């Protein structure tokens, strides 16, 4: 099949952002006298937007120690979180292997590209900019760009309308069941990568149409080209 639009999730799919999200959470909590939390405990709440991650970590902390409720009021904590994450977003983020190469090859192959993330638009743009990926996309939709966010299929439909694509000739690629549900409900191919933050059982239970072992594999599949062509395209 010839694809006209490919849509990519950001965190855990194109870019590893777990370390900097955890660092921003911990710098925020430190201001409220809370000891550092493990990265793993924070990472499991990535997927519904950065603000949501912080709120879920707060909920865990309050469940464990309810008498922290007065000190950890969201209206006090959220502005500090915005300040810390606003500074750190994109600083330690690492694109997964072959990311820029894959995007460039797809572009050269005539595929229009979107980044569809639940991360707030301004933070997503900052991550993309600092990773050198800002100009790789024809369209970026953040978690606060519309009244809906993933898994609501209105998000992917909006992307397809913006890029003039049809769901039958589009795929959305993600690391979580949120992404698979979004793609399927919008009638597009639901593709997964296994290295993100919702890997293993939850991702596979959502039954993606295809799972890719590397990002360049996606360009190979879509364009019907080999790895040498993709490497050459990256320098063209
Ligand atoms: O910021 C998040 O929590 C998740 O963003 P994603 O949709 O790019 O995975
Ligand atoms: Mg993700």
Ligand 1 pocket member 49 (CB < 6 A):
yes
> Closest Cα partner for 17 from 115, 128, 100?
128
Residue 135 structural domain: 5-16+94-235
Closest CA to ligand 1's atom 9: 11
DSSP lists the bridge partners of residue 94 as 16
88-121 pLDDT, tens digit per residue, is: 999 999 999 999 999 999 999 999 999 999 999 9
Spacing, Cα 219 to ligand 2 middle (Å): 19
DSSP conformation letters of 50-75: HHHHHHHHHHHHHHH-GGGTTTT-HH
Spacing, Cα 67 to ligand 1 middle (Å): 30
Q: Are residues 82 and 141 in the same domain?
A: no
113-156 pLDDT, tens digit per residue, is: 999 999 999 999 999 999 999 999 999 999 999 999 999 999 99
Catalytic residue among 9, 175, 179, 198: 9
**Cα 152 versus chain centre, distance:** 15
Which atom of ligand 1 lies closest to the CA of 53? 3
Residue 9 bears catalytic tag: yes
Q: What interface predicted TM-score (ipTM) does this complex get? A: 0.96
Q: Are residues 28 and 59 in the same domain?
A: yes
Predicted pLDDT at 223? 96
Q: Are residues 75 and 131 in the same domain?
A: no
Q: Are residues 58 and 136 in the same domain?
A: no
Predicted pLDDT at 1? 78
- Predicted structure pTM score: 0.96
Mean pLDDT of 25-42: 96
Q: Are residues 154 and 212 in the same domain?
A: yes
Q: Are residues 12 and 22 in the same domain?
A: no
CA dihedral over 158, 204, 168, 99, signed as positive or negative: positive
156-212 pLDDT, tens digit per residue, is: 999 999 999 999 999 999 999 999 999 999 999 999 999 999 866 789 999 999 999
The vertex-151 CA angle with 149 and 156, nearest 5°, equals: 70
Helix (H) or strand (E) holding 220: helix 215-223
pLDDT score of 43 more than 80: yes
Spacing, Cα 202 to ligand 1 middle (Å): 16
Q: 152: which 2 tokens?
A: 């609501």
Strand 15-16, strand 94-95: pairing? antiparallel
Q: How confident is the model at residue 228 (pLDDT cuts 50, 70, 90)?
A: very high
CA atoms in the 13 A half-sphere facing the CB of 46 = 29
User: Any idea what the CATH number is for the domain that residue 212 is in?
Assistant: 3.40.50.1000
The total domain count for the chain is 2
Mean pLDDT of 223-234: 92
Tell me how far apart the alpha carbons of residues 31 and 24 are, in angstroms, rounded to a whole number: 11
pLDDT score of 27 more than 80: yes
Tell me how far apart the alpha carbons of residues 85 and 82 are, in angstroms, rounded to a whole number: 5
Q: Are residues 105 and 58 in the same domain?
A: no
Q: How confident is the model at residue 8 (pLDDT cuts 50, 70, 90)?
A: very high
User: For a substitution probing ligand 1, which of 12, 88, 117, 172 has the most ligand atoms within 8 Å of its CB?
Assistant: 117
Mean pLDDT of 14-41: 97
CB contact burial 82-92 (16+ within 10 A = b; e otherwise): bebbeebbbeb
Predicted pLDDT at 9? 98
Helix (H) or strand (E) holding 8: strand 5-8
Predicted pLDDT at 199? 65
Mean pLDDT of 49-69: 93
Tell me what percent of the chain is helix, strand and coil, each rounded to the nearest 5: 50, 10, 35
Q: Are residues 38 and 127 in the same domain?
A: no
How many residues belong to the chain?
236
Spacing, Cα 9 to ligand 2 middle (Å): 5
Whether residue 170 contacts residue 154, with contact meaning beta carbons closer than 8 Å, is answered with: no
Closest CA to ligand 1's atom 2: 49
Whether residue 156 contacts residue 188, with contact meaning beta carbons closer than 8 Å, is answered with: yes
Q: To which residue do tokens 């992917």 refer? A: 156
Instruction: Reduce the DSSP state of residue 109 to 3 states and report it.
Output: coil
């Amino acid at each position: 099949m010839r694809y006209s639009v490919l849509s990519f999730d950001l965190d855990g799919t194109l870019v590893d952002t777990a370390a900097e999200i955890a660092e921003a959470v911990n710098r925020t909590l430190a201001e409220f006298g809370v000891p550092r939390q493990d990265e793993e405990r924070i990472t499991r709440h990535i997927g519904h937007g950065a603000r949501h991650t912080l709120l879920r970590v707060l909920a865990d902390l309050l469940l464990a120690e309810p008498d922290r409720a007065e000190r950890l009021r969201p209206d006090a904590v959220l502005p500090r979180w915005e300040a810390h994450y606003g500074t750190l977003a994109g600083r330690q983020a690492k694109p997964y292997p072959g990311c820029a190469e894959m995007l460039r090859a797809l572009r050269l192959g005539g595929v229009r590209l979107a980044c569809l993330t639940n991360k707030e638009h301004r933070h997503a743009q900052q991550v993309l900019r600092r990773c050198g990926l800002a100009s790789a996309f024809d369209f970026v939709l953040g978690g606060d760009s519309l009244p809906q966010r993933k898994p609501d299929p209105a998000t992917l439909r909006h992307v397809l309308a913006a890029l003039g694509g049809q769901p039958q000739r589009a795929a959305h690629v993600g690391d979580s069941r949120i992404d698979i549900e979004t793609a399927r409900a919008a009638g597009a191919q639901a593709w997964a990568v296994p290295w993100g933050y919702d890997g293993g059982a939850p991702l596979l239970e959502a039954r993606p149409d295809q799972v890719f072992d590397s990002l360049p594999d996606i360009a190979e599949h879509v364009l019907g080209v080999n790895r040498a062509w993709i490497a050459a395209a990256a320098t063209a």
